[in-house]
Structure 1
Amino acid sequence: MAAGYDIVDLQACRARGIRVCNIPSASAEAVAEHAITLYLAVKRRVVELHDLTRGGSEWPLKKTAIHRFGGLPMTSRSETLGIIGYGTLGKLVESTAKALGMQVLIAERKGNQQSVRPGRTDFTETLKQSSVIILCCPLDNSTRGMISETELQFMDRRAILVNVSRGGVVDEAALVKALQEHWINGAATDVFAVEPASASTSPLLADGIPNLTLSPHVAWYADSSIENLKRGIKSNIEGFVNGAPVNMV
């Protein structure tokens, strides 16, 4: 398998002596690029303005489309990015964001208010201080439903939420409510609680949700990802055959 292993019942595997190995960070470079792409698409309302332009009526009628922004968008140098999940993916997002001139906060684990590590910012303070939040964490018992109504209400009204981790990290119904009631400026996700997603499985696919950009779990797809997966599979098989498993989870 690739990096994620949340679909595997690890307890059942261990009980049966089944070793589970993944390929960590195989697609981190591609996912980091996709995360920044989604952030920019939401901020600049790329999908909405594409549809407006192709519609052929609103722009000629109003002579402009800047009213669609609902306020002046910030340039990246004016933004603060909060990263939740600081593994390989989080670090790649950080370096790309800094290249754009963004200030970056690295969130401490949720619930660790009394033991914030050097270089980290309290989880809730990260939500409050950031104009962009990018989720880069794995899905496990500590992160399932981590972003719900409470967390979304902590965020700035100008903020953008981007999820390239796992769908279950975000309460999808809460995110829809946050967008419809303008608690935050916009959101984007490449992942869903149930995949493949459809209107019957995800409230994010309902009509009329403002400033929401979606992609169908393709952030991982790139030439480097495929090469990394090939090497990782080979390494995992060789390790198993040689009696020295690697990348066990």
Structure 2
Amino acid sequence: MNTELILNYLTDLEQNNCRDWYHGHKEEYKAANAEFEALIQELILRIGVTDSSILHNEPKDLTFRLTRDTRFSHDKSPYNPAFRAHIAPMGKLPVPVGYYLMIKPGGRSFLGGGLFADMFKDATSMIRDHIAKHPDRWETVITAPGFTKNFTVSGTSLKNVPAGYDKTHPQAQYLKYKSWYLEYPISDELLCSPEDFLALAADVFTQMQPFNRFLNTALDGFKMPERP
């Protein structure tokens, strides 16, 4: 498994972020993407030891395109020089939550978990309600030694506790959130050692599982909005 090939391709794409270069280096893309999919396949097998809900996935169904939507962005670069994947029970859909990997050169790679999307109001309400009803369970998850060693809960947050929730609730700070996610940074040096990376990634993703399970319990019954 050649992870350096992945990093080298993405570095070249970042330095030559235009359609002419991208289309002129399709073979390099195919080679790097094949290595990334092999990495995802190995992660599926290792995560699957403790979470069998993701074992049915095919790597090609979990990855995201390199192209960017530049319509509302000042940055008109056509490509995001990053390989990304979401390994979850329903593939790369954001719900149920799963395990996220982004490889981006320059120390910008990370492992993630939880709900990154904050545009699904029903999902936000379901998680808030679950935290409000089960503050002790939430506290147990986010104060576990394996959790506090590796993670801090991040997410888009309101300034105040939203209407309908107790402002003095013991988990009031988390009721302000509209998304709840985790990020674990990964260095380029670690990525260049595939076996070391895979061992660490499997361990980090395993440590995320109680957090993901809490959110997925809250999200039971959620349906993704249909596209118009």
Question: TM (normalized to structure 1)?
Answer: 0.28
Question: TM (normalized to structure 2)?
Answer: 0.29
Q: Which has the higher helix share?
A: 2
